[in-house]
Amino acid sequence: MRRSNGNVLLLLFTSSALLLSACQTGAVLPATSAPLTVLGTVDAASADIVAAQIVLKRGKHVVEATVPVHQSEFQGVLQVPLGQWELTVYLVDAEGKVLYQSKPQSTEISYGTGSTVELVLRPAASTVHITLDLDNYIFRNLALRARIYFNDQLYEVVRPNAETPFETQLEISPGSYEFKVELYTESFHIGNRLGPGIWQVIHIGENEELFLTWKPESEELVITGRVETLLPAPTGVTVTGDSSQIEISWEPVNHWNLQGYIVLAQTNPLERFQVLTSSSHGITSIIHAPDSESFSSTVTYVVAAVSRYGLVGYYSEPRVWSP
């Protein structure tokens, strides 16, 4: 059953009465406690609410009172020792189930003074059962820990081994939440996270027992491939010309996957070959004009075929030009 989200307002009035000792000496003893009067009005009337439980806590000490709710109103009086107390009010049905509750609030019970406190009650927390279904998850045997997020609120769940069901039960206030689950292995270190979680929006109703089954998100990965072999080395490489123009030519490579050729030159045996230029399919010669200031007395050339996918094939036999 879902109920209204209307707020419930409580007005609390504290009156302190002096305890006077009537004796002939006229001595007055200070009071060590004072009556706390709780007045409440339920704005969102509900026929299910039958009683209000008033609870004051201070450390291990608890002061409680249960008073009836009549026509959306109630009143309770507690004799409370002086000092600071944490006040919470619960509105319950005939079976004692909490339907509304106030946020715990600090209340000062003072000597000789009165105070008024206004509380806003919200619907009681709902029970949320969460099951992590990892049956089809590739890392199901590695996932031993989980972080569950409701907005910024974080809950951690640990299971001892992969055979133990991955589930938990939480008490969450009604409302809409951004929900996320992240799985981890043997620790919550970022390096042991099995993957990022995906935020989802969920709704938790009032006085609801909600069962959630969560599954890790996965996408299909299609892998295609090809087998490509290196193209054979060009043959018949010749180098001719003088120091102003050097012609490098070669025999064409007959292959269906041929895109073109590259020509490389080496001017110093202590350095690698450098690409001079590339040519397209069908062009089997180039003219090179060496720079006299940067080239030594000899230049070594090689030619290689290039496939359609850019794979460079085997180098030809080196050819040396010298002036």
SS (H, E, C) the chain: CCCCCCCEEEEEEECCCCCCCCCCCCCCCCCCEEEEEEEEECCCCCCCCCEEEEEEEECCEEEEEEEECECCEEEEEEEEECEEEEEEEEEECCCCCEEEEECCEEEEECCCCCEEEEEEEEECCEEEEEEECCCCCCCCCCCCEEEEEECCEEEEEECCCCCCCCEEEEEECCEEEEEEEEEECCCCCHHHECCCCCCEEEEECCCCEEEEEECCCCCCCCCCCCCCCCCCCCCCCEEEECCCCEEEECCCCCCCCEEEEEEEEECCCCCCCEEEEEEECCCCEEEECCCCCCCCCCEEEEEEEEECCCCEEEECCCEEECC
- Report the share of the chain in percent with pLDDT over 70: 81
What residue ranges do the domains of the chain occupy?
Answer: 8-123, 126-214, 238-321
pLDDT of residue 31: 54
**What is the model's pTM?**
0.56
Q: How confident is the model at residue 116 (pLDDT cuts 50, 70, 90)?
A: low
The class that CATH gives domain 126-214 is mainly beta
For the segment 241-270, what is each residue's pLDDT rounded down to a tens digit? 887 889 999 999 999 999 999 999 998 889
Q: Which two tokens stand for residue 265?
A: 């030159």
111-115, 209-213, 245-249: which range is least confident on average?
Answer: 111-115
Same fold, 8-123 and 126-214: yes
Residue 4 has pLDDT above 50, yes or no: no
Direct distance between the N- and C-terminal alpha carbons of the chain, in angstroms, rounded to an integer: 99
Q: Which CATH architecture has domain 8-123?
A: Sandwich (2.60)
Better-scored residue on pLDDT, 281 or 157: 157
Give the residue-averaged pLDDT of 210-220. Answer: 93
Looking up tokens 């001719």 gives 240
For the segment 85-97, what is each residue's pLDDT rounded down to a tens digit? 998 888 888 888 8
Give the residue-averaged pLDDT of 210-224. Answer: 93
70-74, 77-81, 141-145, 205-209: which range is least confident on average?
Answer: 70-74
pLDDT of residue 110: 81
Residue 158 has pLDDT above 70, yes or no: yes
For the segment 31-68, what is each residue's pLDDT rounded down to a tens digit? 566 666 665 555 555 668 889 898 999 999 999 889 88
Q: How confident is the model at residue 21 (pLDDT cuts 50, 70, 90)?
A: very low
Q: How confident is the model at residue 76 (pLDDT cuts 50, 70, 90)?
A: confident
What's the mean per-residue pLDDT of the chain? 83
Question: Residue 266: how many CA atoms within 13 Å on its side-chain side?
Answer: 13
Q: Which two tokens stand for residue 77?
A: 């009086």
Topology adopted by domain 238-321: Immunoglobulin-like (2.60.40)
